[in-house]
Structure 1
């Protein structure tokens, strides 16, 4: 019997495979070690290989594609519905195989090496920012125990520490001042790391043609365009711009029944990091639209009057995502895209 679909449950050391025919009947199942995976797929006839979109899935998808197979990455939340019986690795692989043949389930795009490199830059920068925020909160909390209250904000903490160390009127012991100097050194080191990562992202964007075109859209800077490229790539995995904005969770959430449509706030699905950056970029544009008279600013100003500032920001973030997709797939600049 011909194998048409293979479900692969990936892990760190042991991988589980189920092979199914066109009718979905289980033909074979096997456990593979990490070293055996690619050799196994090289021996199989060309077919559809399905994996869950999880850690290391992009790597395995690219490697299996090199073996001549078509690969689909299935969102884990859609696989869960097809799990039958007790949870084990073989049943997980079978559920992945069944979900891959459901035409209404949309697969996840496979990231290229370039996308993963850019994504790594954003991830390490995001980690450094979180560490700096935690460090500043730790400093504020420790100093508060000595009766000195610092306002919130990294800049305020950074500027105030030297004055506290030099102020002889405070009742800080030399032991605590030594600790504070060490914390100050950690804060300076994190500042340098964040600046280095930010500069690396900017330099990477300069050599990326897609990011350069996307930056012609108002609200897109190096950081936002790079994060957008990481998520969307060349845009080929999406049929239209609204699919991009829907995948990022900046379209209304529905709760409709009985033929009555009920639209709620945005769904907030997908990449929360990119959604946050898009809305931040949109806020910068909306806040300056009041002094402008171009077509886009007129649309924003009308929306601000009728729906309010916050809704206008989210609406323009939605439009940014759709315009960016149009620019990505068409190869045009913002000036030639219809608002």
Structure 2
């Protein structure tokens, strides 16, 4: 019998293959070296190849699609229930193969090289932000030991640098001064690299009609728009806007048993980076409610009167996510609600 479905457990050097025929009977079990991968699959007749959606999965998926195979990427958490007993490469490949054949399984779309390149810019930017924040915190802690403090925020670093320069040796010894100056230079270097990453993201945003369309929504700028386009594509893999919001982890966690249903906090599942960007944008939208020079949003004012600011920001992020899904699937710009709907 010919192989119909193959489960492929990916690794760096050694790959495990598990294949079944139309009846679901195992007909193939084999280990492959990295150099043998493409030659092996080139000899195989076109079939369905299932893989976990890991870092290298999109690369191998594109390679296998080019030689005629149908590739399905599965989230790792959906594969885990099918692993029997001990976790080995062979057991993982068998579990992937079984999960691939399930009719109700959810799959991850294969990303293009362009999508992955934009996501690489975002990942590097996020890493630089974390490194700069950690360095600033370390710098503030060390300066605080000598009584030099300033207000919160990156903009206050100039004040700290000036106070360090004006402090005499009796306040900050020479050895400590040199160490602190090293941190200041490191922060400047990180800021410069961060600017380069953001410039690359903005440049791609200006060349992408899809990203510019999403940026027309309130609370969505070039950073958020490019990240969503690169991570989600056209959004057609989601059946509705609620499924998209649930994938982002912005829907409430529901526990139901014995006819009783309890709605809790948001699930915080899915892509943490996208969820963070949407909530940051939502905080900016909520902040405009307290400004006199911005047209009020009656529904948002009513929400803030009933709920805390953070809860309102999460609700706005959920609302924005649903709007973005509609904009992606319908290929439309953001349409502001009419006065009647805003007052409702």
Tell me whether 1:299 sits opposite 2:299 in the alignment.
yes
2: distance between equivalents of 1:148 and 1:286? 34
Q: Deviations over 1:300-335 (max 9, x none)?
A: 233333444333221221121111111112111112
5+ long unaligned stretches in structure 2? none
Q: Deviations over 1:83-106 (max 9, x none)?
A: 113221111100011111223331
Structure-2 residue corresponding to 1:65: 65
1: distance between equivalents of 2:336 and 2:265? 31
Matches within 5 A, 1:76-155: 76-155=76-155
With 239-248 and 142-151 compared, the bigger mean Cα shift is at 142-151
The TM-score with structure 1 as length reference comes to 0.93
- Cα distance, 1:337–1:117 mapped onto 2, change above 3 Å: farther
Structure-2 residue corresponding to 1:256: 256
Q: Deviations over 1:154-180 (max 9, x none)?
A: 322343123212333752222222222
2:257 partner SS: coil
- Cα distance, 1:170–1:118 mapped onto 2, change above 3 Å: farther
Structure-2 residue corresponding to 1:156: 156
- Cα distance, 1:151–1:169 mapped onto 2, change above 3 Å: farther
2: distance between equivalents of 1:120 and 1:236? 23
Q: Deviations over 1:78-128 (max 9, x none)?
A: 111111132211111000111112233311222111111111111111111
With 148-157 and 133-142 compared, the bigger mean Cα shift is at 148-157
Tell me how large the CA RMSD over aligned residues is: 2.1
1:261 partner SS: strand
1:193 Cα deviation (Å)? 1.0
Contact 1:82 1:95 in 2 (8 A): yes
2:220 partner SS: coil
1:74 Cα deviation (Å)? 1.0
Matches within 5 A, 1:226-265: 226-265=226-265
With 320-329 and 173-182 compared, the bigger mean Cα shift is at 173-182
Tell me whether 1:309 sits opposite 2:305 in the alignment.
no
1: distance between equivalents of 2:33 and 2:337? 50
Contact 2:241 2:323 in 1 (8 A): yes
Contact 1:232 1:244 in 2 (8 A): no
Q: How many residues align?
A: 337
2:218 partner SS: coil
With 252-261 and 163-172 compared, the bigger mean Cα shift is at 163-172
2: distance between equivalents of 1:103 and 1:143? 60
With 135-144 and 247-256 compared, the bigger mean Cα shift is at 135-144
Structure-1 residue corresponding to 2:47: 47
Contact 1:227 1:274 in 2 (8 A): yes
Structure-2 residue corresponding to 1:205: 205
- Cα distance, 1:316–1:145 mapped onto 2, change above 3 Å: closer
2:234 partner SS: coil
Contact 1:144 1:150 in 2 (8 A): no
Contact 1:8 1:16 in 2 (8 A): yes
2: distance between equivalents of 1:198 and 1:286? 25
Contact 2:148 2:164 in 1 (8 A): no
